């Protein structure tokens, strides 16, 4: 019964015209949006409408939440859902906390001899299991504007949210079919192992070395790379690219091919 009313409510939201001032924000802030075809653009806008109707934003560190902040972050978060037929819209995550800049949080660290120390740790974002997402607005803006550097804090933290939908945050999100888990574990396990070896032997890897922290961070990092540097990922890690292409039901390498042809879709 709850699902019926939720679908009815969301259908009603989709029927509403997208506010032109919101679309102007996405066109100005989110460069990737320009390379989507018109149908994908329209689908993304509908996702944004539902996301903003169901999620709450709270400013931290004196930041006042505006439509600019809400829409810019929502557009990036919803890109991960674009073709996944995922009607849940990060179901366990209700609130996004936004700081004006990078921020500090307490972190415990176990050193040699089992000695535990606690101190401030600078952060760009966080994603809590069954909890909120925390973001730096400066870094969310930078990620939306530059889709070539391989870094996007919104993609990263919301990839953790997708990962956690399986019940654990371990780099193994919910896949479409049970039969896919064997290939997922094999490909991502091998690639994660290669990254660990590169980091251990001080070789410069193709993938951000932060992904070697643990399998959950590896999934978040390769999600950033998949959308930000898709052609490089496809060329150097084709099996990994194919797994992410299947999971996200998107082909960013093909989408961004418009850059070289100059065929950018008008907004």
pLDDT digits (tens, 9 = 90+) for 188-240: 999 999 999 999 999 999 999 999 999 999 999 999 999 999 999 999 999 99
The CATH number that domain 10-107+117-261 falls under is 3.40.390.10
CA nearest neighbour of 184 among 263, 101, 247 = 247
**Cβ neighbours, 10 Å, residue 101:** 12
CA nearest neighbour of 59 among 94, 96, 98 = 98
The radius of gyration of the chain from alpha carbons, rounded to an integer in Å, stands at 19
State the pLDDT at residue 86. Answer: 59
Q: Are strands 95-99 and 133-136 parallel, antiparallel or unpaired?
A: parallel
State the pLDDT at residue 108. Answer: 43
Domain segments of the chain: what residues? 10-107+117-261
Distance CA 156, CA 136 (A): 12
- Mapping DSSP to helix (H, G, I), strand (E, B) and coil, where does residue 188 land? helix
What's the mean pLDDT in 44-62?
A: 97
> Which residues, 6 or more positions from 40, have their beta carbon under 8 angstroms from its beta carbon?
82, 83
141-145 contacts, C-beta under 8 A, 24 or more apart: 141/29, 141/72, 143/76, 144/29, 144/30, 144/31, 144/32, 144/72, 144/75, 144/76, 145/29, 145/31
pTM equals 0.89
CA nearest neighbour of 154 among 57, 231, 251, 267 = 57
């Amino acid at each position: 019964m709850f699902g019926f009313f939720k679908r009815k409510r969301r259908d009603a939201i989709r029927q509403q015209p997208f506010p032109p001032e919101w679309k102007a924000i996405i066109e100005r802030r989110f460069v990737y949006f320009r390379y989507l075809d018109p149908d994908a653009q329209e689908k993304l806008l509908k996702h944004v409408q539902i996301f903003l109707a169901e999620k709450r934003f709270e400013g931290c560190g004196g930041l006042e939440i505006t439509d600019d902040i809400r829409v810019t972050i929502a557009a990036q978060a919803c890109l991960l859902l674009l073709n996944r037929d995922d009607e849940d819209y990060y179901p366990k995550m209700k609130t996004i906390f936004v700081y004006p800049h990078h921020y500090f949080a307490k972190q415990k660290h176990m050193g040699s001899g089992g000695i535990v120390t606690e101190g401030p740790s600078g952060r760009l974002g966080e994603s809590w299991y069954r909890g909120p997402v925390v973001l730096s607005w400066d870094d969310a803006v930078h990620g939306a504007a530059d889709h070539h550097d391989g870094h996007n804090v919104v993609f990263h933290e919301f990839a953790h949210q997708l990962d956690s939908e399986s019940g654990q945050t371990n780099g193994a999100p919910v896949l479409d079919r049970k039969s896919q888990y064997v290939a997922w574990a094999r490909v991502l396990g091998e690639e994660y192992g290669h990254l660990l070896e590169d980091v251990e032997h001080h070789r410069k890897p193709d993938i951000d070395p932060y992904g070697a922290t643990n399998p959950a961070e590896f999934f978040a990092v390769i999600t950033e790379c998949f959308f930000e540097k898709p052609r490089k990922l496809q060329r150097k890690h084709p099996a990994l690219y194919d797994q992410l292409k299947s999971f996200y039901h998107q082909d960013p390498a093909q989408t961004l091919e418009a850059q070289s042809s100059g065929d950018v879709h008008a907004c």
